[in-house]
C-alpha cells in the first residue's frame, strides 16, 4: 500500500504537555485529520470528549482484524490510518514508542513528519498531574467550568527527582529524532500559548494551507492562576527547589 510522501505526521510528546490542545487545534484546519493516542492500551471513552463523534479506533480496538503478529499488525494499522484522504496525524507518547519500537522504523521508512511538542516548565507538568487527580478531568471543553479557587498540593518528597526524569525523557527524545534522521520540528507549549501565531511554524512544517485561518481548539485551559494561586504548599515547594537546577521554574 503506497502512502503519500511528506503529508502525514505524528505529535511526539509526553503526558500533560498540552498535546491534546495542540491536536484538537490541528484538527480544525481544512484537510487535516488529527487524533489522540492511538496506541493507548485501552478502549476510547465514547462520550464527553472533544473527538467523541469521529475519533479513529485505537490499535487495541482493531487488533482482532489485523495480522496476528507484531510488527506486521502495527504496520498494517498505520498503513490504513495514513492512507486516508488529506493529512493525517496522531499523538505518540514517549512511553508508547518504548512499548512499540517498530513505530520508529515505520516513521523512518515512510518519512512521517514529527512535531516534537515539549513543555519547558516541568513543574507545570507535575501541577497538571495534581489538578487532574483532584478534579478527575484531563481536559476541559469550551463552555465547561471548574471552581475558580482551584488549589492543589505537590508531593515534595521526590519532586526534584521527578522533574529531572521529565527533563531526561525530553533529552532522550531529542536524541532519538536526530539519530534516526527523522524530519522534525520542536515546538514548546509555552510559546504556542503565549502567541498562537506560533502555530504557523507547525503549519509551514506540515505544509498546511491555512489561508490565514486562526488556530482554534475545542478545549480550554483548566488552570487559570499562577503558581502561588494554585499550589497550596507553595512555600514548601519553593524551599525544596531553591537549591536545585529547577529553582527558576517556580513563578
Q: Give the three-state DSSP class for 114.
A: strand
Tell me if 117 sits within 8 A of 17, measured CB to CB: yes
pLDDT at residue 5, as a whole number: 47
**Percent of the chain's residues with pLDDT above 70:** 87
Mean predicted confidence (pLDDT) in 75-89: 94
* pLDDT top residue among 47 and 172: 172
Tell me if 90 sits within 8 A of 34, measured CB to CB: yes
Q: How far is CA 250 from the centre of its chain?
A: 23
Q: What is the DSSP string of 144-198?
A: ----SS--B----TTHHHHHHHHHHHHHHHHHHHHHTT--EEEEEHHHHHH-GGG
Tell me if 207 sits within 8 A of 127, measured CB to CB: no
Q: What is the CA radius of gyration of the chain?
A: 19
On average, the pLDDT of the chain sits at 88
Mean predicted confidence (pLDDT) in 96-125: 96
Tell me if 106 sits within 8 A of 74, measured CB to CB: yes
pLDDT tens digits, 179-231: 999 999 999 999 998 887 888 899 999 998 776 666 677 666 766 778 999 99
- Fold classification of 9-249 (topology level): Rossmann fold (3.40.50)
**Percent of the chain's residues with pLDDT above 90:** 63
Q: Give the three-state DSSP class for 215.
A: coil
Residue 168: all three cell numbers together: 531526561
Taking the C-alpha atoms of residue 13 and residue 224, their distance in angstroms, rounded to an integer, is 23
Q: How far is CA 149 from the centre of its chain?
A: 27
pLDDT at residue 140, as a whole number: 58
pLDDT at residue 218, as a whole number: 64
* pLDDT top residue among 7 and 80: 80
Residue 106 confidence class, pLDDT cut points 50, 70, 90? very high
Phi, psi of 9 (to 5 degrees): -155, 165
Phi, psi of 80 (to 5 degrees): -65, -45
Amino acid at each position: 500500500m503506497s502512502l503519500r510522501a511528506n503529508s502525514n505526521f505524528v505529535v511526539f510528546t509526553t503526558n500533560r504537555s498540552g498535546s491534546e490542545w495542540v491536536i484538537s487545534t490541528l484538527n480544525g484546519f481544512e484537510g487535516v485529520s488529527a487524533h489522540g493516542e492511538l496506541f493507548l492500551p485501552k478502549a476510547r471513552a465514547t462520550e464527553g470528549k472533544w473527538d467523541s463523534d469521529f475519533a479513529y479506533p485505537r490499535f487495541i480496538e482493531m487488533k482482532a482484524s489485523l495480522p496476528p503478529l507484531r510488527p506486521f499488525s502495527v504496520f498494517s494499522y498505520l498503513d490504513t490510518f495514513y492512507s486516508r484522504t488529506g493529512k493525517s496525524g496522531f499523538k505518540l507518547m514517549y512511553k508508547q514508542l518504548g512499548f512499540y519500537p517498530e513505530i520508529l522504523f515505520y516513521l523512518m521508512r515512510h518519512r512521517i513528519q514529527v512535531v516534537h511538542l515539549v513543555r519547558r516548565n516541568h513543574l507545570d507538568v507535575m501541577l497538571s498531574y495534581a489538578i487532574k487527580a483532584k478534579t478527575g478531568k484531563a481536559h476541559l471543553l469550551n463552555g465547561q467550568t471548574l471552581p475558580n479557587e482551584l488549589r492543589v498540593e505537590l508531593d515534595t518528597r521526590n519532586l526534584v527527582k521527578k522533574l529531572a526524569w521529565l527533563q531526561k525523557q525530553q533529552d532522550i527524545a531529542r536524541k532519538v529524532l536526530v539519530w534516526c534522521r527523522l524530519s522534525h520540528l520542536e515546538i514548546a507549549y509555552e510559546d504556542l500559548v503565549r502567541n498562537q501565531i506560533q502555530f504557523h511554524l507547525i503549519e509551514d512544517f506540515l505544509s498546511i494551507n491555512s489561508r490565514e485561518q486562526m488556530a482554534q481548539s475545542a478545549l480550554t485551559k483548566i488552570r487559570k492562576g499562577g503558581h502561588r494561586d494554585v499550589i497550596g504548599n507553595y512555600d514548601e515547594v519553593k524551599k525544596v527547589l531553591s537549591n536545585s537546577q529547577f529553582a527558576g521554574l517556580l513563578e
